[in-house]
Structures are given as C-alpha cells and as structure tokens.
Amino acid sequence: MLNIVLFGPPGAGKGTQSERLIDKYNLVHLSTGDIFRYNIKNGTELGNMAKSFIDKGELVPDEVTISMLQSEVEKNEGAKGFIFDGFPRTTDQAEALDMFLSSRNTAVTAMLALEVPEEELVTRLLERGKTSGRKDDADETVIRNRIKVYENETAILQNYFEQQNKYHGIDGVGDIDEITNRLCSVIDSL
C-alpha cells in the first residue's frame, strides 16, 4: 500500500494537493477536517462535540479523532492506499496510526510536508474565508490560534517521521501545478 501523510500548517494546501494526488495514484483521501465538517453539517453527536473545539481553532481530543480515523480506514477495505490529510496532528495520534496500520500489516510510507511561511498562510486563509463558509477561516484570531497550535503540538511530528527516515519537506509556495510536480517526484522516488 502507498500511505502518505500530507503534512503542513493550516492553509498550506493539503486539501488542494490531495485532490490531485488521489487521482494520479488511485488513493483514498481521508481529511479529518472534512470529516468533522461533514458531521457538523449533519448535526451528528460527533459533529456537535467537535464543533466547540474547531470554532476556537483548538484540536478535537485525540481519543475521538483517533477512533474516527480508524473507522474511516476500515470503511475502505481494499483501498490501494490512503492520503492522510490533517492526521496525525499530535504524537499520540502518530503512535496510534503506526500501531493501527501495523495491525493491518501496513505502515506509513512517507510524510510529505508542505512548507509555507506564516504570513502567506494567514493571507491564504483569510482569502479562503471569503468563500469557504468556514467560520474558522473568517476570524484572524482563530487563524493565528490554529497556527500556534500547529507549532506547539503538531510541528514536532517532523522529528517523529525524520527518525523513521520518512520525512520529506516540500516548498509549498508557487504555482499549484508546480507544487503537485514536486510532490509527485518525491512519491515516484519512494
């Protein structure tokens, strides 16, 4: 299986690039943010629980996120591989993912990290907020909090995957097609 963790701060372009990569490599896209938003829209118990965290730009508790992610993987028996977008975001999530995939006789193939400077992220997210309808994109304080949470809790996962020789940093600034090409050349070299 080809299991890619697409990594990077909020607004780095993970969703945009995932859409392109799933077509090219025939993978299933699992975006924890999208799954939470779907649940919020449909007023599920999970959605109602997650909403209070998401609206403030905080992480949804690990326990909830991990079990949700596992059940999404299980819904896709027979997949050739996955793109994990927005997961893992904490060390506990990364360890849970490793254990879960190894129980299924597979593993994370690589972490591809989109690198984008903070001011560019804020500009992109405020721009997206004009049309996305996402409350967490409309408010600069919430945006900056998401970036802070990323730096405090998530960025450390670079070390986690570097230790496994699975980390690949990719310049996330520039033309969308060009960034896709950068990602593909790493994937093709795996």
The reply on whether position 82 binds ligand ADP by CB under 6 A is: no
Residue among 173, 168, 174 nearest 189 (CA): 168
The reply on whether position 172 binds ligand ADP by CB under 6 A is: no
For ligand ADP, the closer of residues 86 and 172 by Cβ is 86
Q: Does residue 114 come out as left (phi exceeding 0), alpha (psi in the -120 to 50 range) or beta?
A: beta
Contact 13, 127 (CB under 8 A): no
3-state DSSP call for residue 46?
helix
To the nearest whole angstrom, how small is the minimum distance from the Cβ of residue 160 to ligand ADP?
14
The neighbouring-strand residues paired with 110 are 4
Asked, as a colleague might, if the bond just before 88 is cis with ω within 30 of 0, I would say yes
Among 10, 13, 129, 172, binds ligand ADP (CB under 6 A): 10
Q: What residue type is 94 in one-letter code? A: A
Q: Restricting to residues 93-152, name those near ligand ADP by CB under 6 A.
A: 93, 136, 146
To the nearest whole angstrom, how small is the minimum distance from the Cβ of residue 189 to ligand ADP?
26
Q: Under the rule (CB under 6 A), what is the footprint of ligand ADP?
A: 10-11, 32-33, 36, 53-54, 57-60, 65, 86-87, 89, 93, 136, 146
